Structure 1
Amino acid sequence: MKIWTQLLLLISSLSFYGQTGAVSGKVTDGHDGIPAASIIVSPIGYSLATDEDGNYFIKDIPYGNYEIIFSAVGFKTIRKKIAIDKPEAILLTIVMEEDNLALEEVVITGTMKEVSRSESPIPVEIITPKLFKKNPTASLFEAVGMINGVQPQLNCNVCNTGDIHINGMEGPYTMILIDGMPIVSALSTVYGLSGIPNSIVERIEVVKGPASSLYGSEAMGGIINVITKSPVKAPIISADTFVTSWGELSMDGAVKINTGKATSLLGLNYFNYNHRADKNGDNFTDVTQQNRISVFNKWNFEREENRVFSLAGRYVYEDRWGGELNWSKKWRGSDSIYGESIYTKRAEMIGLYQLPATERIFTQFSYNWHDQNSYYGYTPYMATQQVAFVQTYWDKQFGEGHTFLLGAAFRYTEYDDNTPATASADGTSNQPQRTPLPGVFIQDEWHLNDNHKLLGGYRFDYDKNHGGVHSPRAAYKFSPNANNTIRASFGTGFRVVNLFTEDHAALTGARDVVIAEALKPERSYNGNLNYILKIPTESFFLGFDVTGFYSYFTNKIVGDFDTDPDKIIYDNLKGHAISQGVSLNTDLTFTFPLKVMAGISYMDVFQIEDKGNGAVRSQQLHAPKWSGNLISTYTFRKGVSIDLTANWYGPMRLPILPNDYRPEYSPWFCIANIQMTKKFDYGLEFYGGIKNLFDFVPKDPILRPFDPFDKHVDDPVNNPNGYTFDPSYNYASMQGRRVFLGVRYNLL
């Protein structure tokens, strides 16, 4: 090939007596340069790649007619015919369009190994930094709400802690991973996604439905896997800072460091909010005061034969409080002025090591330590948790059709607090909970042919209190062509529960906790049917992604808020619970610079319990039957774009007290945001906009805020209904409309 190329060059050179020209320019996506785009000059075969800013320069091209081919991953290939007939360089700027059909995001959560999203037999939904920058947030807790069917839910109007619901199921049913490690669970669930620097996040993967056959306990409702950036591929410097008219300050940054055969990514996140807003006039802070700092450091080490070795660590400190406006730290733990004050310290370590063997054998390990020092009014909650995890698995290809995954895992949890949860049987001494949980798993992905793929998996875990737990699953994928894909899956999940670490309502101090009996582990059985349709045309691309889901739960642990207004009574459900529904996601991209993504979900989440006089059906709290989202972007010339994002919810059932004057179901509401961004050269951009455009806030979020310690409850004249202080009536943030301004910078 080289000989023929040289011959052709020689002939061309002789024909034009050695005269040559040049072509220069820039390859962009409409506003940003595309680095490493491939450029080929046909037929002479000249090839090169654009630099980090998308610029290129091709010199010494003999006079003649040529076709220049521009290509880049995730973009449509462009061919330009050009005539070289003068020595001056010809300026040629190329604007490439995103290729929805060719863009193959790599996902790992569904099968625990890298596979293109379209080839995965398990449906996986993705949020990339490109998406959550369209509505900048101070934490990933808020960012995941951009996925249809995923609902960040605040559970307390005073301290603003919350959890993440998938398909209407409460937070404890959602397993949160960082780089595939169960680093965020139990005690840290309500704070786990706060303080992860956005600048170190590569993408967020969401799997809806049980995945216990691979990930064990807690993965019975769904998985959120935060994939951090590889230091090798990360920008040299990245930074993102914004402020709001409510006084919030978020600072996020990262820097890449090269040291010999190792590359490091150091990330820092700082968030501060210290403004005592009380727009509804109940003398309580509308938004919790927060001061949080998080440091993240990840290392990739270069090894022989490209074997993998990475280490990462994170430390988080947070001081948050909410309560009456005149509260200060001197009132912490007193019964004079009500406040909920939480000090959190957390350290994490994550590692991945590929063994030096001919086979693909990997070992993953993690450790986290979480310390919480808190007061809910005058109720103290002091807790410490340590979780150690190690897992080894063998990724083996058998023949052309079978890919096996065989592994073993061990998780050890130690939990200690000042509640009866860790007291000895006679209540005279402290007895921390120590929970070893070993497990083995196997998975076979069978590639039948280009159209059919089958996956089967099985896991066995052993719990010292509950014995052996079996978790099988199966999935099938059928793709008759590139524009149609059908996926069907069935899976089981289980959860070993420590309710004190998972249910914040038990810690508010407003109600006493009653455990009715020895709790049994929960089980879930889930089926999903997913259909993806792609409709490419000359003027637009339209994508449909529709999923029907059904989950059946047994031994579900429920909190009874209704029997006694002063108590939360926990018990295994004497019956079953069901989460069922359908969700539709659409993706519409036009040839002009407009892109729209929208989703809608219908969910029916309920439980049926036998209370001695027949089966009684009750709707799940905080699970709206209808919900949806919208992300719309229009890009103007000169690097200006406008983003409109929105989440809307139908009525959801709320925790109310007997004879409560507040409605049992929330109203329809929408939280919409608008943002304008201006991008400049060299990776600099400014952005600003309005959050909560319609200024929606809930009404009467706290019952009897004037008597938070219930000192005057027994007053038949002023309190004839016997109401007690209750801050759990929550369905949306109390933050109203606010303006934000920010700046980002990336140096590649």
Structure 2
Amino acid sequence: MKINISYTLLLLVTLLFSGIANGQNNGIEGKITDHEGPVPFANLYLKGSTYGTSANEDGFFTLEKIPAGTYILKVSAIGYQNFSKKITFDKNQNKTLNIELIQASEQLEEMVVSGTLKAVSRSESPVPVEVYSPTFLKKNPTASIFEALQNVNGVRPQINCNVCNTGDIHINGLEGPYTLVLIDGMPIVSGLGTVYGLSGIPNSLIEQIEIVKGPASSLYGSEAVGGLINIITKNALDAPTFFADSFVTGWGELNVDVGAKMKIGEKTNVLLGVNYFNYSNPIDNNGDNFTDLTLQDRISVFQKWDFQRKESRLFSLAGRYFYEDRWGGEMQWTPEFRGGDEIYGESIYTSRWEILGKYQLPIAEKVLFSFSYNDHSQNSVYGDTPYIADQRIGFAQFTWDKKIKKHDFLVGTALRYNYYDDNTTATVSADEVVIPSLFVQDEIALATQHSLLLGMRYDYDERHGSIYTPRMAYRYKITDNDILRFNAGTGFRVVNLFTEEHAALTGARDVIVTEELDPEQSYNANVNYLKKIYADNGTFISLDASLFYTHFTNAILPDYDTNPNQIIYDNLDGKSVSKGASANIDFVFPNGFKFLIGATIQDVSQTENGITQRQILTESYTGTWNASYEFRKLNLSVDYSGNLYGPMRLPTLGESDPRSDYSPVWSIQNIQFTWKGLENFEFYGGVKNLLDWTPNRGNPFIIARANDPFDRNVTFDANGDAVATPNNPNALTFDPSYVYGPNQGIRGFFGLRYRID
């Protein structure tokens, strides 16, 4: 009997352990990738258990000996949205799961530098910074950064000329000169460069684009009044070995982007990028005998050197050369008519080169030397009016980054050299000035969840004297997924009229400057709330909402209304105000559907002599969206993007002008299909401007007196005002400044990307 009992117990124990062993003989393996390739060293774990692992450098992972049951698999990697999936194991199941992580446009874990001049995670920055990755740019492929920003909430590319199609970037309704554009943190795209040089930055070399809305003059000086856009290029170590991207459109546009990296010796990595764009097919769909889209031929070459040094100290050097030949005008224009008064054309030759670098000093303290220099040469004619200009900007800056207990200091000094000369009467002699600056910033860790940033900058401009720009930022990290920020500060802008207001050079309006222009000053406050939600089913939601208010004194705005034949510039004797609210909501669902929607409501006005009116060319509301869906089994993704703009006041030529004083509500929408079924290749194509919207809808014409661009048949009175005649019943003069959107209608496009890691 004892033997039988012992045998039975032994059998039961054996069966029990066998069952446990079988119950734990479950496993899962697979590969973690993004849309471009493997994601190395991602973390994986089963929620509510002790089971977890990490992917290797090629993205492969294995998780073994998992007990039977139902789990939530969590996957995380820096720079990607978290991934969640419910998994059930019975017995002896070995599952294969390949996971594609998403590089969302909004991520709290991304590293940003634009808000504080320090690399910090987005969640830790006291200054709200919006981040847009190359993935975002690819959802609506464009030939320039200028066009790519059309789907960023609160940011609008403004075309300033119907003929030559030059433009600038508006942030929260503020004119382009209020926006500072940086490359790798260096203010080299300004003045002439903002108007003509924002194209030609190879998209293949962009790591991310950071946008700060609101004054940033306390760190960056003049021009960072309304906000800044920082285009950060890739580090050579992280760039693909080779990258090519090219597309063509139904209008005949061709864009080619090529990038490559190479290693020179053991400690030097070089990144090379080339962008070429050509459009040489004159089209006049609106029938005014003027080109709807400016013809362009441009090339940009970019090279960046990264040097490996002891203790990982930074040393990088980059350079870019840009050349563009663009023209627009009457359809029969050819280069032999350039500068003459027989056939009207606007022809612009732009030659520009830039160099920038960063060098960390070989000392115990963290001291960084940054420098940049650019030379911009402009040879332009607008009909028979020449505009020849040269601009050179040099910039050098030392920053000392020091932490002392709860204080994180940044102390710096900068020297900026500005040279500008043109052939207009507004520039009697070359404008040359050296502006020294000092700035200090202290970020104080008040408590675990609270931080306070205080900053002050001092600039001395011999034309205007001493300029002070303080700022303050407060961050309250309610939870890891809830952040509240409050920012307040000041900004200033020193104006060079002809580098920023293109309407002053085109058309028949006279430019009147009534006084010596003083620097503009702004006072800003904004509140920002950022929240992210991770649901157990893998759904991700991000909310980014802001309230903003900016008050300007000494504002310099073009006056188109007082005299329809003039553009009058002076310092506003009153105030200019930009206020409103904006929000972005980002949805990502585990079934492959992604949706990003943004909206901005704004009121931009100017008050002078007790009269308040809405600022010209400023919409009262905007909307942007991007919807994406991935058919994973087909290796196919679909992207539907678009924008919506409310009415804006337009520069008409007086009460007799038959053109509408306000634009309609208008929208540009695009759809794209991308197939990734062939290794290293991506094929994409779609339709741009699905609604075939152009600004001539509802208007008798867009360009006034397009049939008489030199005003030969216009009769003027003794005061120089046009008078009504049978030939000119509305008393108009030639005027191409009535523009608020692109004239380019619906078109298809097709492209190919090739990448070797």
Q: TM-score, normalised by structure 2?
A: 0.90
2:511 to 513, 523, 530: 513
Q: Within 5 Å, which residues of 2 pair with 1:70-149?
A: 72-73=77-78, 74=80, 75-76=82-83, 92-98=96-102, 104-149=109-154
Partner of 1:488: 486
Partner of 1:234: 239
Question: Secondary structure of the equivalent of 2:378?
Answer: strand
Q: Deviations over 1:75-97 (max 9, x none)?
A: 337798989989xxx67233255
Partner of 1:428: none
Distance in 2, matches of 1:684 and 1:567, equals 54
User: Is 1:459 matched up with 2:451?
Assistant: no
What's the offset of the Cα at 1:501?
1.2
Partner of 1:678: 675
What's the offset of the Cα at 1:422?
2.6
> 1:378, 1:509 within 8 Å by CA — same for their partners in 2?
no
Question: Secondary structure of the equivalent of 1:346?
Answer: strand
Q: Report the number of matched residues.
A: 713
User: Is 1:688 matched up with 2:685?
Assistant: yes
Partner of 1:292: 298
User: Is 1:667 matched up with 2:667?
Assistant: no
Q: What percentage of aligned pairs have identical amino acids?
A: 52
What's the offset of the Cα at 1:720?
3.1
> 2:702, 2:738 within 8 Å by CA — same for their partners in 1?
yes
Question: Secondary structure of the equivalent of 1:739?
Answer: strand
Question: Secondary structure of the equivalent of 1:305?
Answer: helix
| Structure 1 residues 414 and 230: CA distance shift in structure 2, 3 A | same
> 2:74, 2:83 within 8 Å by CA — same for their partners in 1?
no
Distance in 2, matches of 1:686 and 1:607, equals 48
Q: Deviations over 1:680-737 (max 9, x none)?
A: 3433110000000000001122111000001111172211332000001111100000
2:192 to 187, 191, 209: 187
Partner of 2:653: 657
User: Is 1:368 matched up with 2:374?
Assistant: yes
Distance in 1, matches of 2:353 and 2:677, equals 37
Comparing 565-574 with 351-360, which one deviates more in the overlay? 565-574
Aligned-pair Cα RMSD in Å:
2.7
Question: Secondary structure of the equivalent of 2:287?
Answer: coil
> 2:32, 2:55 within 8 Å by CA — same for their partners in 1?
no
Distance in 2, matches of 1:172 and 1:26, equals 47
Q: Within 5 Å, which residues of 2 pair with 1:273-292?
A: 273-292=279-298
Comparing 166-175 with 718-727, which one deviates more in the overlay? 718-727
> 1:411, 1:437 within 8 Å by CA — same for their partners in 2?
yes
| Structure 1 residues 701 and 303: CA distance shift in structure 2, 3 A | same
User: Is 1:630 matched up with 2:628?
Assistant: no
Amino acid at match of 1:34: P
Distance in 2, matches of 1:527 and 1:739, equals 43
Amino acid at match of 1:291: D
What's the offset of the Cα at 1:48?
6.9
2:207 to 180, 195, 202: 202
Amino acid at match of 1:573: L
Q: Deviations over 1:410-441 (max 9, x none)?
A: 10011111112331xxxxxxx21102111100
Comparing 376-385 with 539-548, which one deviates more in the overlay? 539-548
Distance in 1, matches of 2:75 and 2:467, equals 54
> 1:78, 1:96 within 8 Å by CA — same for their partners in 2?
no
| Structure 1 residues 119 and 44: CA distance shift in structure 2, 3 A | closer
Question: Secondary structure of the equivalent of 2:328?
Answer: strand
Partner of 1:243: 248
| Structure 1 residues 83 and 262: CA distance shift in structure 2, 3 A | farther
Question: Secondary structure of the equivalent of 1:422?
Answer: coil
Partner of 1:335: 341
Distance in 2, matches of 1:524 and 1:376, equals 34
> 2:410, 2:440 within 8 Å by CA — same for their partners in 1?
yes
What's the offset of the Cα at 1:660?
1.1
1:152 to 149, 157, 173: 157
Comparing 157-166 with 716-725, which one deviates more in the overlay? 716-725
Amino acid at match of 1:593: G
> 1:77, 1:96 within 8 Å by CA — same for their partners in 2?
no
Partner of 1:3: none
> 2:554, 2:571 within 8 Å by CA — same for their partners in 1?
yes
> 2:454, 2:473 within 8 Å by CA — same for their partners in 1?
yes
| Structure 1 residues 500 and 272: CA distance shift in structure 2, 3 A | same
Q: Deviations over 1:607-635 (max 9, x none)?
A: 0012xxxx121211111001110011111
Question: Secondary structure of the equivalent of 2:142?
Answer: coil
Amino acid at match of 2:329: G
Distance in 1, matches of 2:617 and 2:427, equals 30
Partner of 2:352: 346
1:436 to 408, 419, 434: 434
> 1:69, 1:80 within 8 Å by CA — same for their partners in 2?
no
> 1:166, 1:221 within 8 Å by CA — same for their partners in 2?
yes
Q: Deviations over 1:659-681 (max 9, x none)?
A: 21111100001100000111134
What's the offset of the Cα at 1:639?
1.6
Question: Secondary structure of the equivalent of 1:235?
Answer: coil
> 1:34, 1:50 within 8 Å by CA — same for their partners in 2?
no
Amino acid at match of 1:94: N
Partner of 1:311: 317
Amino acid at match of 1:662: R
What's the offset of the Cα at 1:563?
2.4
Question: Secondary structure of the equivalent of 1:213?
Answer: helix
Comparing 556-565 with 269-278, which one deviates more in the overlay? 556-565
Distance in 2, matches of 1:194 and 1:677, equals 25
Partner of 1:703: 704
What's the offset of the Cα at 1:315?
0.2
> 1:70, 1:79 within 8 Å by CA — same for their partners in 2?
no
What's the offset of the Cα at 1:22?
11
Q: Deviations over 1:310-329 (max 9, x none)?
A: 00000000000000000000
Distance in 2, matches of 1:102 and 1:655, equals 40
Q: TM-score, normalised by structure 1?
A: 0.91
Partner of 2:3: none
Q: Within 5 Å, which residues of 2 pair with 1:378-397?
A: 378-397=384-403
Comparing 331-340 with 539-548, which one deviates more in the overlay? 539-548
Partner of 2:721: none
> 1:64, 1:85 within 8 Å by CA — same for their partners in 2?
no
Distance in 2, matches of 1:102 and 1:225, equals 17
What's the offset of the Cα at 1:119?
1.1
| Structure 1 residues 685 and 445: CA distance shift in structure 2, 3 A | same
Partner of 1:12: none
Question: Secondary structure of the equivalent of 1:345?
Answer: strand
> 1:491, 1:525 within 8 Å by CA — same for their partners in 2?
yes
> 2:659, 2:702 within 8 Å by CA — same for their partners in 1?
no
Partner of 1:616: 611
> 1:315, 1:348 within 8 Å by CA — same for their partners in 2?
yes
Partner of 2:737: 728
Distance in 1, matches of 2:731 and 2:193, equals 35
Distance in 1, matches of 2:726 and 2:702, equals 23
For structure 1, list consecutive stretches of 5 or more residues without a partner in the other structure: 1-15, 424-430
Distance in 2, matches of 1:76 and 1:449, equals 31
Q: Within 5 Å, which residues of 2 pair with 1:496-507?
A: 496-507=494-505
Q: Deviations over 1:50-103 (max 9, x none)?
A: 455x45689xx99999999965333337798989989xxx67233255498985
Question: Secondary structure of the equivalent of 1:558?
Answer: coil
> 1:199, 1:252 within 8 Å by CA — same for their partners in 2?
yes
User: Is 1:590 matched up with 2:589?
Assistant: yes
Question: Secondary structure of the equivalent of 1:421?
Answer: coil
What's the offset of the Cα at 1:543?
2.5
Amino acid at match of 1:704: R
Question: Secondary structure of the equivalent of 2:504?
Answer: helix
Amino acid at match of 2:650: L
> 2:440, 2:456 within 8 Å by CA — same for their partners in 1?
yes
Distance in 1, matches of 2:694 and 2:262, equals 44
Amino acid at match of 2:449: N
> 1:361, 1:392 within 8 Å by CA — same for their partners in 2?
yes
Question: Secondary structure of the equivalent of 2:558?
Answer: strand
Question: Secondary structure of the equivalent of 2:711?
Answer: coil
Distance in 2, matches of 1:348 and 1:270, equals 18
Q: Deviations over 1:504-547 (max 9, x none)?
A: 11111422211111111110000101122334333433322211
Amino acid at match of 1:643: D
2:268 to 247, 262, 273: 262
For structure 2, list consecutive stretches of 5 or more residues without a partner in the other structure: 1-20, 716-723
